[in-house]
Every structure is written in C-alpha cells, then in structure tokens.
Structure 1
Amino acid sequence: MLELFDSGSEAAWLRSFRFAQEVRPRFCEIDGLGHVSNVIYPVYWELGRLRYFGAIGEADDAPRRAFAFNHMAVEIAFRMLRPSFYEEELLVHTRTVAVGRSSATMEHALTATESDEIRAIARIAIVASDGERAIPWTPGQRTRLEAFEGRTLSR
C-alpha cells in the first residue's frame, strides 16, 4: 500500500511541497455515488505536473516547451484516502523527489483547500522523451528543478 508519510507527520509532509494548483471537480468527473471518480485522479496529477513544470520555466539549454510536454508518466501509484466531491475547492500539490538520467520521481497530494485534509496521494515515475526514446535531462533542467525544490535531486 502506498505510504508517503508516517502517521502523524501529514502536515510536515504537506509543507515540503513548494507548488500547488487549484482544481474544482466538474460534474462530468463525478461517479454515481457523488464522489470524484477514481479514473479522474491521474488527470489531476497530470494537471499538477504540467503546471509545476510551467512554474519552474524553461531552461536555456532545453528544447522549446521541454518541461511542459517532453515527458510521460510510465508508472503511477496512487491511493485515495477520503472522498472528494463536485465543486469542492481542492489543491493538487506537486513536487519532484528524485531525478535520474532521463527519469524523475514525483509525488502529489490532493487536499481540501479549507482544511488541508489529504484526500489522495500519488507517486509517479516520469521519463523525458522525444516521442520515440528517452532523452536525458539537460544540466539546465536539473539546475532549475533543484533550485525550485531547494535541494539536490538524485537517485
């Protein structure tokens, strides 16, 4: 079972995120029980990841729009902790926890805006790609990621 923090340390784990994106579930994202459908969570993780890379900005030595579009999720593990509902104000928290040659490991949390109650968590492996093969992160991309996260990111 996916566990990204020790019991009782949820608040400290959430404070370690430097980026959050607002999201408000639409009616089409709701299941028959009135909850956000389980198939929607990966959409929220991807929205968070794309906006996260957009906030970091492009590196001078990277291809145009590399952070925004030149990566793909290759492994997704997520866990729903509590339900989320239509029109509820939520935050998708996103951070990078490790960077390899062409891959990275990211973590996400979905929280209620008003209470910081964690609704879902995720760990996602991504790979930078040109569409056919993995391509290494540039030194500039690594520098920007580490500056944004405020720490060295390595495997």
Structure 2
Amino acid sequence: MQKSYINNFEEWKKEFSFYVPVQVRFSETDMYGHLNNTVPFVYFEHARIEFFNHLGLMQKWLESETDNIPVVADIQCDYVKQVFFEEKLKVYVKIATIGNSSIDLHYLGVNEQDEVCFTGRGTVVQMNPKTGKSVPLNIDQLKQVEV
C-alpha cells in the first residue's frame, strides 16, 4: 500500500499511538450501507481536535485573548477497504512534520480486525483571522508538538 506520503507502510503504521474510537452511524452511509466518502474527513477532524486537546494546543487556540486559530490548509483521504453501518473503527492521528506555522498530520482508520480501511494526511496552519496570514508557531507550541 504505497502512497506518496508513506515511505514504508509497516514502519509508518507502527508510529501511531493516539486514536479516537468511532462507530459508523446510519446517517453516515449511502443507500448501499457503505460509509459515505465524505465521512472520513469528519473522522479526521474529530481525531485532530482530540489529538490537539491531548497535546494542550486546542486550549491555547480557544483562549479569548488569542489572535490565532488553526485552519486546515489541505487534506486528503485514500480509501482502502469498504466500511459499513455499525462498524467500529479506530481513527489514528500523528504528527508527520512541523513547519514554521504548520503541522502536517497523518491519519489511519482501522476496523476491529485491525484491517486498514483508509489513510490520509493534511496540513493545519496557524493563522490570524484578522489578517488572513499565517503565524509562526511559538516556542511553547513547538514544545507541545515535538516529534
């Protein structure tokens, strides 16, 4: 399973530790009972926010005196195995790289048999909503996300 953002799949997979559990709801499926192709992005968002909470980053971004917010700059999903109504998944997230004002995240969705259902990646950029410009991550933030 070679993707442009994955060099060695087995090694890449071993690097994940943080995950959120999800169960596929009926409203997330199509008329064939498959997980709708837009839903993994919702799962990525859920995992990303919980991961940032775990790291202590979300709390800083939500403070009323902060001028910066996290914005998804790009995101992609690669579908590997069909997922159906009521399946229980683990959606993993990890930091792949850290830029000046960005964090590149990787995602992995597996079912109860530990079969890969989807993978993904995306970049979150810290920006100032008033200026629309990216803002460098500060020292405290970088300490929280050390890879």
Structure 1's consecutive aligned runs of 4 or more residues displaced over 4 angstroms after TM superposition are: 62-66
Q: What is the CA-CA distance between 1:130 and the residue it aligns to?
A: 2.5
Deviation at residue 125 of structure 1 after TM alignment: 1.2
Equivalent position of 2:79 in the other structure: 80
- Counterparts of 1:76 and 1:136 in 2: how far apart (Å)? 20
Q: Aligned-pair distance for 1:63?
A: 5.0
- Work out the percentage of aligned pairs sharing the same amino acid: 25
1:6-21 map, 5 Å = 6=8, 9-10=9-10, 12-21=11-20
Shift of 1:136: 1.4
Question: 1:15-37 CA deviation, whole Å, 9 max, x = no partner?
Answer: 20121011111111001221110
Q: Deviations over 1:113-152 (max 9, x none)?
A: x221110000101111222221111111111111xxxx3x
Instruction: Give the match for residue 128 of structure 1.
Output: 126
- Paired letter, 1:81: V
Matched to 2:16, the amino acid is F
Q: Which amino acid aligns with 1:88?
A: E
Gap change, CA 1:96 and 1:65, over 3 Å in 2: farther
- The structure with the greater share of residues assigned to strand is 2
- 2:3 alignment partner in structure 1: 2
Question: TM-score, normalised to structure 2's length?
Answer: 0.84
Does the 8 Å CA contact 2:49/2:58 hold for their aligned counterparts? no
Q: Number of paired residues?
A: 140
**Amino acid paired to 2:88:** E
CA-based RMSD: 2.3
1:1-155 matches, within 5 Å, as 2-3=3-4, 4-6=6-8, 9-10=9-10, 12-58=11-57, 62=60, 64-65=62-63, 70-112=69-111, 114-131=112-129, 132-146=132-146, 151=147
Which ranges of structure 1 fall in alignment gaps of 5 or more residues?
A: none
Q: Give the drift of 1:58.
A: 4.0
TM-score, length basis structure 1: 0.80
Amino acid at match of 1:73: V
Structure 2 gap ranges (5+): none
Cα deviations across residues 41-83 of structure 1 (Å, max 9, x unaligned)?
Answer: 11111111000001111499x55459xx921111112100001
